[in-house]
Amino acid sequence: MKPLFILLIFSAWTFIGAQYYYQGLMDYLENRLLAIEDRMQFWSEQYHQYHTEMLAFKELTAVTIDGLKSDHSNMFKDLEGASLRVDLAEKEMDYVEIQTSPRACANRADKVVEHEAWGLQDREEEEDGDWEDLQSKVSDCVEIISGIRSVKILKRVGSPKGMWTRDPRSSKVYVFNGTSGDTVFQFNSVRDFSRSLGVEGTTSIQLPSEWSGPGSAVHNGYLYYVQQDTDTDVQVVKYDLLNGSVTEAAIFPVDSHASLYSLNPETFADLAADDQGLWLLYAASDSEPNISLAKMDTATLDIEEIWDTRCPRENAEAAFVICGIVYVVYNTRLASRSRVQCLFDVNDMVVSQEAPLLYFPRRYGAHASLKYNPEEKQLYGWDDGYQIIYRLTMKRKLLV
Ligand SMILES: *[C@@H]1O[C@H](CO)[C@@H](O)[C@H](O)[C@H]1NC(C)=O
Ligand SMILES: *[C@@H]1O[C@H](CO)[C@@H](O)[C@H](O)[C@H]1NC(C)=O
Ligand SMILES: *[C@@H]1O[C@H](CO)[C@@H](O)[C@H](O)[C@H]1NC(C)=O
């Protein structure tokens, strides 16, 4: 009986013990849960607070952004107004410039070479021949620029200075990047050039010698370029673009390599080719302030005549030849608007009253070169790395 009692007591005790043990565990877990709940509560409160703060902030930013937006549109309107006013001011400036500027100065032909050596007879015939006769002596056409009709900025390729031109016969475009080199890029057409990605994948022509300065000319499948070997000798090279060989070369004796245009010191000779022949603009020497002009035979590169154009080299940036008239383009050192301010007619036909003072349209920088294409009556300009086409309107020269 006693052992059974003891067992009973023992089991009851064990039971009570376990009971206590579980109770403890339960209490512990409950406390933990409570603690977790507290923390959850805390975080929920925090979250709520943050959320509220965030909403407030969002509202604030929305208000600020709205304010900024309206400020921006106000500023934009102001800017538009200002730009309109600048345009107006510029138009007025143009008007004033055109009203007040003197006409481009037109110089009469003044041959500096010996008449005996270069066609005295021609000159004598001119004197008593009618003007049709006179025309055919140096230049057959009778056109003078009357204005710049339009401008087209085609693309931007290469360095700020360079030159591009189109052969009027083949329609091919030739690009001379930089101020010297022995490479020329060729495109099949202006369209091809404007669609191209730079000069990648196009035909590049490797010349046997370096061209110096953006003063080359392309005419009838031939490339004429200026090569400078030493300080004193300038060579004009005629290169056959079809079979890739030099067909002719002639030394052009100039005293030094004085730059032709003071605003483009890399150009010390500038070629222009047309149906009348090959024209070479150059600086006779450092001390000669005016631009000289030589007419050469396109086939043999013989010099036929030389003139002093009396157009100053100072502040000149480029020049081009149309129908035996040299148009010299001037600018300022801080590029403003280029203008034709001096012209020289080898035929002595242009009178001062009809010499146009031509302003080029507003643009980016300064012309490194301007090349005239007689078939299209347009100029190919290289302006601070932009390739630009200027379409010209022409009129007949007044006949005196
Ligand atoms: C053009 O010439 C400049 C240097 O004069 C050179 O840095 C540039 O790579 C050339 N661009 C092309 C397309 O050849
Ligand atoms: C290239 O053509 C010219 C004629 O335009 C010719 O005089 C010259 O011999 C030719 N050169 C070569 C290498 O075929
Ligand atoms: C240069 O041309 C001007 C006219 O524009 C003339 O007065 C001057 O004498 C010329 N200078 C020389 C050295 O020929």
Residue range 289-304, pLDDT digits in tens: 999 999 999 999 999 9
Sign for the pseudo-dihedral over CA of 132, 136, 138, 144:
positive
Is residue 5 a part of any domain in this protein? yes
Which residue in 105, 190, 116, 136 sits closest to 347, CA to CA? 136
Contact 369, 318 (CB under 8 A): yes
| Whether 179 and 265 share a structural domain | yes
Site of tokens 């064990």 = 14
Distance 208 CA to ligand 2 centre (A): 15
Domain end position, chosen among 99, 115, 146: 99
β-bridge mates for residue 249, sequence order: 237
Q: Which burial class, exposed, middle or buried, applies to 209 when counting CB atoms under 10 A from its CB (0-12, 13-18, 19+)? A: middle
| Whether 91 and 177 share a structural domain | no
Is residue 251 a part of any domain in this protein? yes
pLDDT band at 232; cut points 50, 70, 90: low
Best residue for ligand 1 mutational test, from 159, 203, 384 (most atoms within 8 Å of Cβ): 159
**Least confident segment among 52-56, 187-191, 297-301, 325-329:** 52-56
pLDDT band at 364; cut points 50, 70, 90: low
CB of 313 within 6 A of ligand 3: the answer is: no
For the chain, percent of residues with pLDDT exceeding 70 = 80
CB of 308 within 6 A of ligand 3: the answer is: yes
| 3 state DSSP class of 215 | coil
Q: Tens digit of pLDDT for each residue in 257-280?
A: 788 999 999 998 999 998 888 999
Is residue 123 a part of any domain in this protein? no
| Whether 93 and 168 share a structural domain | no
Q: Does pLDDT of 308 surpass 90?
A: yes
Nearest atom (ligand 1) to Cα of 179: 5
Within 10 angstroms of residue 80's Cβ, the number of other Cβ atoms is: 10
Contact 109, 362 (CB under 8 A): no
Per-residue pLDDT, 313: 95
In terms of pLDDT, which residue wins out, 358 or 175? 175
In terms of pLDDT, which residue wins out, 112 or 63? 63
Is residue 142 a part of any domain in this protein? yes
Q: Does pLDDT of 1 surpass 80?
A: no
Residue type for 326, please? V
| Whether 233 and 317 share a structural domain | yes
Q: Does pLDDT of 48 surpass 50?
A: yes
| Whether 91 and 134 share a structural domain | no
For the chain, percent of residues with pLDDT exceeding 90 = 46
Counting the structural domains of the chain, the total is 2
Question: Atom 8, ligand 3: which residue's CA is nearest?
Answer: 310
* pLDDT, the chain, mean: 83
| Whether 221 and 350 share a structural domain | yes
Average pLDDT over residues 52-67: 84
Q: Give pTM, 2 decimals.
A: 0.72
Per-residue pLDDT, 344: 93
pLDDT band at 170; cut points 50, 70, 90: very high
**Least confident segment among 35-39, 236-240, 339-343, 367-371:** 35-39
Average pLDDT over residues 125-133: 43
| Whether 297 and 164 share a structural domain | yes
| Whether 80 and 177 share a structural domain | no
Per-residue pLDDT, 166: 96
* Domain of 7, in residue numbers: 1-99
CB of 202 within 6 A of ligand 1: the answer is: no
Average pLDDT over residues 6-28: 70
Q: Does pLDDT of 368 surpass 60?
A: yes
Q: Does pLDDT of 127 surpass 60?
A: no
Per-residue pLDDT, 197: 86
Best residue for ligand 2 mutational test, from 239, 243, 301 (most atoms within 8 Å of Cβ): 243
